[in-house]
Structure 1
């Protein structure tokens, strides 16, 4: 098996019953994506293979991007979609301080509620962020990840709401950010790409995509 991270781009079959199910339920999508990983990975299989994914939808098609090691698209349901797989090694080799890049990421910006001193033994609720608060959250996380952002264009996405009867109140707000940036720390950026950024990774958040920025 290949230990190097790869990116699988899967054009989903719009007529497949499992595709319809997965597009309605992010937990089902996560289970389907995990089928690409090998068995017997222990208690944290997603973490073991560094699996991250993002769904990209247009008016006419749906494409699933899946990143990780040891991924085998042949383990997906038959006729689920057409997969192209490429190594991410050339991209990591090209990262250097000062280069300009384009980026795309879906995020679940959130903070933990602060509680009073009388509740110091309890943990506050996770509060989703929006608007300028979400933008500032992404600016800070990007800086920590070795990116100096020049442009950040947010797009609100439908929230991920698992259809599990045991989690009726769970709802994960999702924002997609597109823009341009300068690489400030290639090593930190490599780790951010490999590990993902923020919460909500089982719901399609955290996968950072990079490409060379073209001159205007």
Structure 2
């Protein structure tokens, strides 16, 4: 199965693109826009079926979406003038992964801790506790080991959280809050097969709303 990597450059002159890219509900609008690039008859969970992950990035020229999937996105499904979509195969990069290879990485993730029932009762904690700052950075270092890489550098920066709708049609139900942190740095590949799996599957929660996409690129050997 071919895996695809696409860059969607939003046109700042397009009203629909501006609406999707701004405001507190932007991740929800972008999720719907990204999924509109794929066939409609995809069953109850089209994001999982097509392996769709995405990340929004602010650039000097505006918002770009990095989109990954196992089905090639169709630029013809975008509104006229919405933006430019460029797609290439991700497979050469995945096939080139070897133990000891040095890489740059970037990932926006929702770092959380899931305390056990006894801890929740003792401290009156929710089932899922969002992590920030040092706790989020430590979470990422644990995730890196589980992803098949050893991180040499790890920078973290909080970005705006997203409040996503709960499944179902009840709009009155409280939304699910996803705190988000951008992690980036350099690492060495330790387990290429595990890394390929994690790149394809994504990392953590909030995947429909711009979390979980792990991007890598070759890096110089650390000094």
TM-score, length of structure 2 as denominator length: 0.87
Aligned pair partner of 2:176 in 159, 170, 173: 170
Q: How many residues align?
A: 211
TM-aligned CA deviation for residue 169 of structure 1: 4.5
TM-aligned CA deviation for residue 198 of structure 1: 0.4
1:15 aligns with 13
C-alpha distance in 1 between matches for 2:120 and 2:153: 42
5+ long unaligned stretches in structure 1:
none
Flag the 1:30–1:113 CA change in 2: closer, same or farther, 3 A.
same
2:64 aligns with 63
1:114 and 1:124 in contact (8 A); partners too:
no
Aligned pair partner of 1:6 in 1, 4, 7: 4
1:196 aligns with 202
More off after superposition, 32-41 vs 46-55: 32-41
1:199 and 1:206 in contact (8 A); partners too:
yes
2:218 aligns with 212
1:28 aligns with 29
1:12 and 1:80 in contact (8 A); partners too:
yes
C-alpha distance in 2 between matches for 1:22 and 1:114: 38
SS in 2 for 1:39: coil
1:156 aligns with 158
SS in 2 for 1:74: helix
1:143 aligns with 145
More off after superposition, 5-14 vs 109-118: 109-118
C-alpha distance in 2 between matches for 1:169 and 1:42: 24
What root-mean-square deviation, in Å, do the aligned CA atoms of Structure 1 and Structure 2 show? 2.1
C-alpha distance in 1 between matches for 2:75 and 2:61: 22
SS in 2 for 1:171: strand
C-alpha distance in 2 between matches for 1:213 and 1:166: 48
5+ long unaligned stretches in structure 2:
none
TM-aligned CA deviation for residue 171 of structure 1: 2.1
SS in 2 for 1:92: helix
1:175-190 matches, cutoff 5 A: 175-190=181-196
1:101 aligns with 103
1:104 and 1:209 in contact (8 A); partners too:
yes
SS in 2 for 1:7: strand
